[in-house]
Homo-oligomer: A and B are copies of this chain.
Amino acid sequence: MRRAVKIKAELLTLIKNNGSFLIVSHFNPDGDAVGSSIALAMGLKKLGKKVHIANRDKVPDALAFLPSSGLVGREAPEGVVDVLCVVDCNTMERTGLKNLKASKTIVMDHHIMPDNAGELWDNDTLNHSIIDPGISATGEIVFSILSELGVVIDKDMAVNLYTALLYDTGGFRYANTTPESLSVASRLVAAGAEPWRITKELYESVPYNAMKLLAAAYKTIEKDGKMAWMTVTKEMLAETGTTAEHTENFVDYPRKIKGVEVAVFFREEADDLCKVSLRSKGGINVQKIAAIFGGGGHAPAAGCTVKGPLNEVTRRILDAVREALRKS
């Protein structure tokens, strides 16, 4: 079976020849960012390196179960490190961190590079970085780097990397799930990652008040033709004692309805402001719809923040979705 990711010899040499490392990732870190950062740190420590992890934001509660999650600090260490590893992120801007001092920089990422990549990174950095949007998760890159370096993946590293893979492939469900993702997953389970334990932490640990919020939100689901939508009001959050972060992925629920091509989730932020998430199951590019309202994203998943009361925003967005469906 072929290796998940081809690792450049220059990158391996750089790691072997240096002693101190700082690992950073994007702010608001997700499972791939946190899991990849921790696994990389654990692997480098096994090789006798001095390693720090810094993130602008704290590890989300849902990921606190990750072994060694305490390694993720909020600030960079003083002084100059040998190598800065920018993980699951490909611009310094996305790290939210400033004035990091390092002799060399490696980027390990699977997001699409911005057009001005040449201005953001020097040639030396680009030469030994791994940036490949064809890879489903940064965890696969870290797995391959550590394997090439001869690091034996132990159970704690496997749990971190398995979580990284699960997170970015939607539990091996999204279109980015490749033979390599599943092959790496297979080896991580062999190394001690337990799918059911990780599943319980990631998908079966919904706080009771968040479940009550979801119950209220389910009642709002409506469907019209090939679009369906769900709404959460300020009142629903207040009544259940929940916050906006509990609504993450709520847009997935209306998407599950048979025959639905576009799903929308509306969250009332204030009397005059709504957050809108859009998902497409296939043919419709929802990034184009979000762009009309000043938002952004990708063809299958986009979002925007729209001024106006909930009922008016709902009407305007649904009109735009209806128009996109009509034209398709």
* Best-buried of A170, A187, A258 by chain B (most CB within 10 Å): A258
**What's the least CB distance linking A324 to chain B, in Å?**
19
Interface set, chain A 207-233, CB cutoff 8 A to B: 207-208, 211-212, 214-215, 218-219, 221, 223, 228
* With contact pairs A182-B182, A187-B179 given, residues A173 and B203 touching in the complex (Cβ less than 8 Å): yes
**What's the least CB distance linking A140 to chain B, in Å?**
12
Interface set, chain A 151-194, CB cutoff 8 A to B: 169-175, 177-183, 185-187, 189-190, 194
A256 at interface (Cβ–Cβ under 8 A)? yes
Query: Is there contact, CB below 8 Å, between B258 and A208?
Result: yes
Chain B residue at smallest Cβ distance from A175? B196
Complex: how many Å from CA A181 to CA B182? 9
Query: Is there contact, CB below 8 Å, between A1 and B186?
Result: yes
Q: Which residues of B contact A179 (CB under 8 A)?
A: 186-187, 189-190
Chain B residue at smallest Cβ distance from A207? B258
Q: Which residues of B contact A219 (CB under 8 A)?
A: 215, 218-219
Interface set, chain A 195-209, CB cutoff 8 A to B: 195-196, 199-200, 203-208
Chain B residue at smallest Cβ distance from A201? B258
Q: Which residues of B contact A208 (CB under 8 A)?
A: 223, 228, 257-259
Q: Which residues of B contact A207 (CB under 8 A)?
A: 257-258
Query: Is there contact, CB below 8 Å, between B174 and A171?
Result: no
Query: Is there contact, CB below 8 Å, between B218 and A214?
Result: yes
A288 at interface (Cβ–Cβ under 8 A)? no
Query: Is there contact, CB below 8 Å, between B196 and A174?
Result: yes
A281 at interface (Cβ–Cβ under 8 A)? yes
Residue from B1, B173, B214, B281 within 8 A of A1 (CB atoms): B1
Q: Which residues of B contact A190 (CB under 8 A)?
A: 179
**What's the least CB distance linking A42 to chain B, in Å?**
21
Query: Is there contact, CB below 8 Å, between A186 and B195?
Result: no
Query: Is there contact, CB below 8 Å, between A189 and B196?
Result: no
Complex: how many Å from CA A256 to CA B185? 23
A267 at interface (Cβ–Cβ under 8 A)? no
Query: Is there contact, CB below 8 Å, between A173 and B175?
Result: no
Query: Is there contact, CB below 8 Å, between A195 and B175?
Result: yes
A-B contact list, 29 entries, CB within 8 Å: A171-B172, A173-B196, A173-B199, A173-B203, A174-B196, A174-B199, A175-B194, A177-B189, A177-B196, A178-B189, A179-B186, A182-B182, A182-B183, A183-B183, A183-B186, A185-B186, A204-B258, A204-B281, A205-B256, A206-B256, A206-B257, A207-B258, A208-B257, A208-B259, A211-B223, A212-B221, A215-B218, A215-B219, A219-B219
Interface of A toward B, CB cutoff 8 Å: 1, 169-175, 177-183, 185-187, 189-190, 194-196, 199-200, 203-208, 211-212, 214-215, 218-219, 221, 223, 228, 255-259, 281
Seed contacts A182-B182, A182-B186; 8 additional CB < 8 Å A-B pairs: A174-B196, A174-B199, A175-B196, A179-B187, A183-B186, A185-B186, A208-B223, A208-B258
Give the top 9 A-B pairs by smallest Cβ distance, nearest first: A182-B186, A215-B218, A175-B196, A179-B190, A177-B195, A173-B199, A183-B186, A205-B258, A179-B186
